[in-house]
Amino acid sequence: MADLDIQRETLEMDVLFVGAGPANLSAAIHLQNLIAAHNAQSDSKLEPQIAILEKGQRVGDHLLSGAILDPIALRELVPDFKDQGCPIEAEVTAESLYFLTRRFHFRFPLVPPPMQNHGNYIISLNKFGAWLGKLAEERGVNIFTGFAGAAMLLDGQKVVGVRTDDKGLDKHGRPKPNFEPGMNIRAKVTVLGEGPRGSLTKEIVRRLNLDSGCNPQSYETGVKELWEIPAGRIKKGTVIHTIGFPLPADIYGGSWIYAMSDTLLSVGFVTALDAEDPTNDPHFNLQKFKTHPFVRRLLEGGKMVGYGAKTISGGGYFSMPRLYADGLLLTGESGGFLNMMRLKGIHLAMKSGMLAAETIFEALKRNDFSAQTLKLYDEKFQASWAKKELYRSRNFRQAFNYGLYFGMIRAGAQMLLGGKILKDRLPLEADHTHMARFSRVWREKYLREKANFKFDGKLTFDKLSDVYESRTTHEENQPCHLYIRPEVIADICNTKCITEYGNPCQHFCPANVYEMVSTNDLMGTKKLHINASNCVHCKTCDIADPYQAITWKVPEGGGGPVYTNG
């Protein structure tokens, strides 16, 4: 259906935030606090219209992390956060780091300083996000849940707002009886805080060339399960990280186990997406990890009660795009605010939002939202503790380009030398460029491993069983939001990719979205089938596809996972 045929409503706002994550929620809260303080002392009142778009049905539904919170930004934003009812699961009371072999585990005598968590908190990010959303609404911020940002609105090179998703289109893109066209929401400044690999962020960074001169972003996929276990096995507040098994030394990653209570664990595994192995499978890595005797003893007899997956923007300081343009700011992981050395990003996302709020406040007073004014955001970042933290870890992810063991040596040297080793700004390449062509070695390794592995439905689970626990739902009769051009499916997915890479999408997707199904012809050929309703919105496919043929678009707002204790 041609867009010219659609009559769209237009909503005028002053400030539009896209994504109700910790970055944009912190920005909205801080901005309203600044405006309230200004209006109490000035005759020149500011009364901007401020809104947040959130594609989840509720604030927090799509938020997922481990998660450990460094409270440095929270204390700045809400000094009395405990009195305000901040949902903290536990204060970190004990922590350890282990190296795992297939059968044994070895505890490091010391936890490296960047990974130490004394004074930090174990939280549920979706509960934390819902709490921040409540604080924002109390300050008069409009939060429009169930509405996804589908396209950027531009006037030349200037961002002037966002178009929301069309609702009520069938799978062929034709209007159904309940069709509702998306709105054009025009704003003086649009703040993208979509998280890693946001669809609008990806579009606008390319269009405005905001990543010119930067390293490509590097990503990992984190896969998480929630476990209820018998009491007495672990104490509330315990933090465990591991490296080693089940990953080979040439794939970056590791695990976490966080005791949210004496009987509730957050268990997860992080797998880098720059692996050569085209059968690299983040979900399978978590399942194998749980079979290790050290982990099995914790979980056996328990019950898995939640599942989710998301990507992580791990490239660091040199992978951050330009954070501003005319009418535009980028916050949180949309701007690369994550410290992979510390395995943390929530506090950095919050600080980015607060710096964005201070910039918007100045722009409102000047009534000037040009890049010339909004570059104040970058200036504030460069002068902040967030920049100092990210700069110290600026080459961390690159240190592991040559494997785990050499990477540990290089990362250790970086810690001693303030982030620099041999030369500054070590290079990165886009994750998908690392994938090696499929070979008999990969195929036999993977098939042998899968053939010998049995999902028992008690400790280990196949993808469909796990996806059920994510509570993800989508309207079935809508255009597929995992877009591959039909000619690409015919010429690449069903032919070329089979022989060159073995259809890696069926492996790297943690939600069983992509399947190669038999056509039942005499040749025994297979074709790609997309189970879009399984999608948990992690964006792994958009990143890891070696042909870059998959484009993740927003489905109808309100669809997707419903995380609890995410």
| Element at 382 (helix H, strand E) | helix 376-382
The residue with tokens 């929530």 is 346
Distance CA 314, CA 398 (A): 10
Per-residue pLDDT of 163-215, as tens digits, reads 999 999 999 999 999 999 999 999 999 999 999 999 999 999 999 999 999 99
Q: Is the pLDDT of residue 82 over 90?
A: yes
Distance CA 449, CA 443 (A): 10
Q: Is the pLDDT of residue 4 over 60?
A: no
Name the pLDDT band for 447 (thresholds 50, 70, 90): confident
Q: Is the pLDDT of residue 3 over 70?
A: no
Confidence (pLDDT) at 1 = 52
The residue with tokens 């309207």 is 475
Confidence (pLDDT) at 419 = 72
Mean pLDDT of 510-520: 93
Q: Is the pLDDT of residue 403 over 90?
A: no
Where are any strands of DSSP class E within 404-562?
Answer: 482-483, 514-518, 526-530, 551-552
Distance CA 15, CA 356 (A): 11
Mean pLDDT of 302-327: 98
Total residue length of the chain: 566
Q: What is the DSSP letter of 298?
A: H
Q: Is the pLDDT of residue 421 over 80?
A: no
Per-residue pLDDT of 448-477, as tens digits, reads 887 789 999 999 999 999 999 999 999 999
Distance CA 382, CA 367 (A): 24
Long-range contact set of residues 290-296: C-beta below 8 Å, sequence gap at least 24: 290/459, 290/460, 291/459, 291/460, 292/100, 292/102, 292/103, 292/105, 292/245, 292/246, 293/103, 293/105, 294/98, 294/100, 294/105, 294/242, 295/255, 295/257, 295/267, 296/459
Percent helix, strand and coil across the chain, each to the nearest 5: 35, 25, 45
Q: Is the pLDDT of residue 550 over 60?
A: yes
Q: Which domains does the chain have, with CATH numbers?
A: 7-76+129-214+321-392 (3.50.50.60), 85-123+217-313 (3.30.9.90), 400-425 (no CATH), 433-552 (3.30.70.20)
The residues with which 312 forms a beta bridge, in sequence order, are: 220
Mean pLDDT of 33-52: 97
Is the Cβ–Cβ distance between 329 and 302 less than 8 Å?
A: no
Select from 285, 291, 377, 277 the least CA-distant residue to 337.
377
Select from 307, 266, 314, 267 the least CA-distant residue to 289.
267
Q: At what angle do helices 22-41 and 125-138 cross, to 10 degrees?
A: 20
Half-sphere exposure of 303 (CA within 13 A, CB side): 5
Lowest mean pLDDT among 113-117, 382-386, 400-404: 400-404
Confidence (pLDDT) at 441 = 66
Percent of all residues in the chain with a pLDDT value above 90, rounded to a whole number: 88
Per-residue pLDDT of 15-32, as tens digits, reads 999 999 999 999 999 999
Is the Cβ–Cβ distance between 218 and 397 less than 8 Å?
A: yes
Select from 550, 553, 429, 444 the least CA-distant residue to 492.
550
> Whole-angstrom distance between the N-terminal and C-terminal Cα of the chain?
37
Confidence (pLDDT) at 440 = 66
Confidence (pLDDT) at 69 = 99
Q: Is the pLDDT of residue 422 over 80?
A: no
Confidence (pLDDT) at 424 = 82
Alpha helices in 10-54 (DSSP H): 22-41
Confidence (pLDDT) at 522 = 66
468-503 b/e (C-beta count within 10 Å ≥ 16 → b): ebbbbebbeebbbbbebeeebbeebbbeebbebbbb
**Tokens representing 488?**
């690409």
401-417 b/e (C-beta count within 10 Å ≥ 16 → b): beebeebeebbeebbee
Confidence (pLDDT) at 452 = 85
Is the Cβ–Cβ distance between 494 and 207 less than 8 Å?
A: no
Confidence (pLDDT) at 145 = 98
Mean pLDDT of 327-335: 99
Distance CA 180, CA 184 (A): 13
Is the Cβ–Cβ distance between 182 and 537 less than 8 Å?
A: no
Lowest mean pLDDT among 5-9, 343-347, 374-378, 441-445: 441-445
Q: Identify which has the larger pLDDT, 406 or 39.
A: 39
Q: What is the DSSP letter of 217?
A: P
Select from 334, 425, 350 the least CA-distant residue to 386.
350
Mean pLDDT of 62-73: 98
Is the Cβ–Cβ distance between 151 and 143 less than 8 Å?
A: no
Per-residue pLDDT of 224-247, as tens digits, reads 999 999 999 999 999 999 999 999
Confidence (pLDDT) at 260 = 98
Q: Identify which has the larger pLDDT, 564 or 524.
A: 564
Q: Identify which has the larger pLDDT, 181 or 411.
A: 181
Q: Identify which has the larger pLDDT, 566 or 274.
A: 274
Residue-wise DSSP of 494-526: IIIHHHHT--THHHH-TT--EEEEE--STT--E
Q: What is the DSSP letter of 247?
A: S
Per-residue pLDDT of 203-225, as tens digits, reads 999 999 999 999 999 999 999 99
